[in-house]
Structures are given as C-alpha cells and as structure tokens.
Amino acid sequence: MISTLLVANRGEIACRIFRTCGELGIRTVAVYSDADANALHTRVADAAVRLPGAAPADTYLDAGLIVKAAVAAGADAVHPGYGFLSENADFARAVLDAGLVWVGPPPEAIEAMASKTRAKELMGLASLGEVTEADLPVLVKAAAGGGGRGMRIVRRMDELDAALESARAEAASAFGDGEVFVEPYIENGRHVEVQILADTHGTVRALGTRDCSLQRRHQKVIEESPAPGLSERLTAELHTLAVRAARAVDYVGAGTVEFLVAGDKAHFLEMNTRLQVEHPVTEAVFGIDLVAEQLRVAEGHALADEAPHARGHAVEARLYAEDPAHDWAPQTGTLHRFAVPEGVRLDTGFTDGDEIGVHYDPMLAKLVAHAPTRAAAIRKLAGALERATLHGPPTNRDLLVRSLRHEEFAAARMDTGFYDRHLTDLTEPAPDPYAPLAAALADAHGRSRFGGWRNVPSQPQVKRYARAGEETEVRYRYTRAGGLEADGVRVLHADAGRVVLEVDGVRRNFEVARYGDEIHVNTTRLTALPRFPDPTTQHAPGSLLAPMPGTVVRVAEGLAVGAAVRAGEPLLWLEAMKMEHKVTAPGTGTLTALHAAPGQQVTVGALLAVVQEA
C-alpha cells in the first residue's frame, strides 16, 4: 500500500493528484522551484521539497534531484503527472532503482512509445520518405516531443527545408532530441483520442473517446467526451486500435492513444504514456477517478470485474493567461481574484493573489461541465465561464465562450482548422460601451471637492482608459445636488465597488474592482491612463517591442544592423511559457538597431530592434 506519494510536477496537475490522495488517506509531498516557492501546490501538500533554481532543466526536469527529494521526504511512491518527466523512461527507472513505487507504465513501454517514429512502426505504419510535390501538404513533427513543439505545416516545396531546420532547432531545445519526421497533413481532420486503462493482470480497457479538435498551435483548448458524430463502426475500430497499441508494449496504468479522423477513416498519431490534461471529461462521463485507478494499479490491484458505463456528455475548457488576438501571447501578473460558479468542476493551481510568472505554461485552470446531453453541457460550461470572476492579466475567457457558442461547434462540425478559419471573428472586440463610464463613476465616488450641493453645474470630469488595446475617454459631471450624471445615461447608484446605470429604460448593474491602474468592470478589463501621456515612453517608428517577457532563443541567420528586411520577415524568436513566438519586421526597409541576442532575458515592452521603412 502506498502511504506517501511525491508528485514530480507542479501547478494544476499536482493539486489535482493531491486531492485524490487526500480522499484516499495518502500523505503528499510536493516539489517546487524557486519560482514556485509560494505556489498553491506547495501549500496544499503535507510536505514540500525545494528544487533550487527556476529553469525547468534545473528543477522539474532533473530526475536525480527529484528522486533524492522523494527519499529525503520519506515518500514510497512517485507520480509524474503530465509534461516534464512524465514520459521519461530513465526517470521511471531511477524511481524504481531507488526502491520506490512508480505510478505509471513500465519504463520499457514508455521507451517503446517515446519516439513517434517507433510507435508508428509498432502499429505497422510508416512515415513519409522523400517528400514530393504530390505529398503536399505535409506536417513536420518532432519524434520525441509533444504539446505542439517542433511541429510545422508545409504547403510549398520551397518551405520544406526551412521548416525542417526550424522544427529540428525547436525540438532539440525543448526535448534534447532534434529528430523530426514527416507525415501527410490532413486538412480539416478531427483530433480524436481513446483513454486506456490497464492493470498488471492482463486487463486492458478502452474508456470511450474524446474529441480535442479545437487547438491553437497544436495545443488543445476545448475537449469533450464522447467524441460526437462518430459511427459505431469507427468507434469500435478506434477502441480496437488503442487496445492493440497498449498490448503491443505490455502497457500498465492510464494512457491515451491519439488519432486524426478524416470522414470515417482513422489515422494513428501517437500514444501518450501518461495521464492527459483532458482526463476529467472521461472521469465525468464514466463516473471514475483515473488518478485513484492509477494508484490502485500501481499497488498491484486488478481493475474491477465490470467496466464502468458512460453517462451523458462532458466538455472541458482550458483557461489560459494569454491574448488570442495577438498571436496567443502569454500574459503575466497577479491573479487578484478568481472564482467560478458552482455546478462545474474546477481544476487549478492558482488562487487569489497568486503570481502568474514567465517560467511555465500559462494555463490557469480547467473548467469541466457534465450534463445528460452535449447541448446542455456546452451551455452549462459557457455560462459558467461567462459568470466567472477573473481579475488579473488578460485571458482567453471570451474566446472560450464564443467558441462554445459558435454554430460549427454547436453542430459538432469542428476540426483542427477551426481557429485558422474563425480566430479573427472570435477575437473581434465587443466591449461593453458603458464599462469605462462605470469605472469612472466608481473612481469618482467620494471625490467631490465641494461637498454635496453646488450653486452652478461643474465642468465635465475626464477619464481615459485602455481597453483591448484601444484608448477611450469618458466624461461625466457633478450635479448641483452633489450627484453624478453622464450624457444619455441616468446614474442610479455609484460607489467604489458597484455602479447602477439606466440606459434607454434598462437598468444595468456593474461590479467594479480596482487594483492600482488595473480596473475590472464585470468581465471587462481596463487600464487607467494618465490624462496627459508621458512623452518619455514614446518609441521611434519601426521599433519592435517584446510582446511578452521571455528569452531570446535565436536571431535570424545573418541578421545584422544594415541588413535589408521585408515586411513580415521573422527577425528573432522569443520563448515564454513553453511557447515560441516569432517577432517579425513591421515593414520593408533597413534594420537600423538590434538589441537582442540568443539567451537574453527581456521584459515586456523591451526594445528588441528598429526597422527604418523604405
């Protein structure tokens, strides 16, 4: 029996595993980097061990350090979570060699499926050899990675060499292995996967299907179970292939087999030898706890004689601190307030007052809704997201709500190209026109310099705010009776936290919260601006500013001051929160300044380069 479990991970998944351990009476041990010293997962664990440093390579990816932490804390088992070392066979061996229980598949199974090329061979499939024009479009993929890293879509032959070079560089940086391969790229395919659960007594079960087609940068955003619209024949085929993959490597524990579905045909992608981020939708539909099952299997127990039965439908949305309208740029800062309505499941590694840093994935939480029907689950989740309180950096909340309510998604006609087609519409600003006024009136509460009654009307008061990258100006005035008024709007109530307006006979309520210059009015995020801009903050035309804090991973080959550049040409790449971002030339002209070098840490707004347009 496992008595003390160390989770070799952080954030949301560590907290989720600790929750199950608490229900089972298992003591928990967290590990944390210096950047995570006060993270939620360290606060909810029974014990925590420091991993000195902040970079993943020095902390969560250091297998020896984590095994030492487990031994020092008296743990008798290790759960890897997902990401980091979860699919590292050498780490699994190190845990077992230390005499600890490994909550995962055998190292040999991890090794067999670690390379996508070897996994395809085990399934009797092959990658493309020499690529020809007839093969296009194709997908270049890292053999040893995931999460969208080291992947490039190639539509023209003259793009292939650059895509191979770029994918190799990113794969080597992210996974320490620059091997890539090429496979056909299926346009408008669906990403469908099967949850596998196997014990040490020969039982392998396929637990339904999941659709994970809504993705950005090959990373999933919205997932659901069961995958809608699949025929019984195709579902049975997917289950058969998934079980075959598991048996081929004597798999044990929870795992996932992923497919790309086009029409009524399935194409094997890979097997993930770990728990998936989207596992809660399967848990909701089958009424099971996959982490508890992992722990039981690791203790040597057999799976229940009777397989669980599916009930209803579940949908999950990943809430990220990012700006979808600006190349999904990750966001940092303080999460001042975070609360969701009752009735949905919340898996998170954050709570009020926590800092969202630059070192790790920008996912804040997963929200999961379960209902008897797909339509009811979608409506439940969209409503919960819309009513959630999110005070802090910008998030993808509005994108998630619009995606869930999009006609294609509602009709289950989505595919992996969903955001390629609809991102512009889904991120089109739809600001509440009265949110800035509500912010100004809340700010004005109690600020009248002349007391209540006044003999003459006051001059208009002016406030300026930034909202979704656009500036807006608000005017209001104090009345003779000491109240507030704005043209065309009746002010029924105004204090520092709540404003009530009447517009065209309709009464509207606004909840207002202010944190320095950051203001939240219902779901609208505003930044208070000075009345007169500071001229010292202005930059020369053609300046390229860092869109986020991060690390310069590389500069375009041969790029130097004086070089001619074309509009849209990549000049350098930034890495932040596990994602790589291109910084491109704003226009065609000459590079007149370059302030970035590989390995350099930059803050948001830092000047990277200047291009003088022709």
H or E, element range at 383: helix 374-387
Residues in the chain, overall count:
614
Q: DSSP letter at 129?
A: -
DSSP labels, 3-68: -EEEES--HHHHHHHHHHHHHHT-EEEEEEEGGGTT-HHHHHSSEEEEESSSSGGGTTT-HHHHHH
DSSP labels, 417-438: THHHHHHHHHTS----TTHHHH
Nearest residue to 321 (alpha-carbon basis) of 281, 346, 347, 357: 357
Q: DSSP letter at 126?
A: -
CA distance 303 to 294: 10
In terms of DSSP bridges, do strands 490-494 and 498-503 run parallel, antiparallel, or are they unpaired? antiparallel
H or E, element range at 244: helix 232-248
Nearest residue to 211 (alpha-carbon basis) of 140, 313, 359: 313
CA distance 45 to 207: 30
CA distance 388 to 392: 12
- What are the Cα distances from residue 205, in Å, to 96, 255, 305, 597? 25, 10, 11, 51
Mention every residue, 6+ apart, whose C-beta is less than 8 A from residue 378.
315, 369, 404, 405, 409, 410
SS3 string, 487-556, reads CCEEEEEECCCEEEEEECCEEEEEEEEEECCEEEECCEEEEEECCCCCHHHCCCCCEEECCCCEEEEEEC
Contact 438, 499 (CB under 8 A): yes
Coil vs helix vs strand at 90:
helix
For the chain, the farthest-separated pair of C-alpha atoms sits apart, in whole angstroms, at 89
Nearest residue to 181 (alpha-carbon basis) of 138, 244, 231: 138
CA distance 108 to 302: 21
DSSP labels, 158-173: GGHHHHHHHHHHHHHH
CA distance 394 to 328: 11
Could you give the residue numbers annotated as active site?
274
Mention every residue, 6+ apart, whose C-beta is less than 8 A from residue 92.
80, 102, 104, 105, 106, 107, 110
Coil vs helix vs strand at 415:
coil
Mention every residue, 6+ apart, whose C-beta is less than 8 A from residue 327.
547, 581, 582
Contact 550, 358 (CB under 8 A): yes
Mention every residue, 6+ apart, whose C-beta is less than 8 A from residue 33.
10, 50, 51, 52, 53, 54, 55, 56, 58, 59, 60, 359
Contact 368, 256 (CB under 8 A): no
Coil vs helix vs strand at 152:
strand
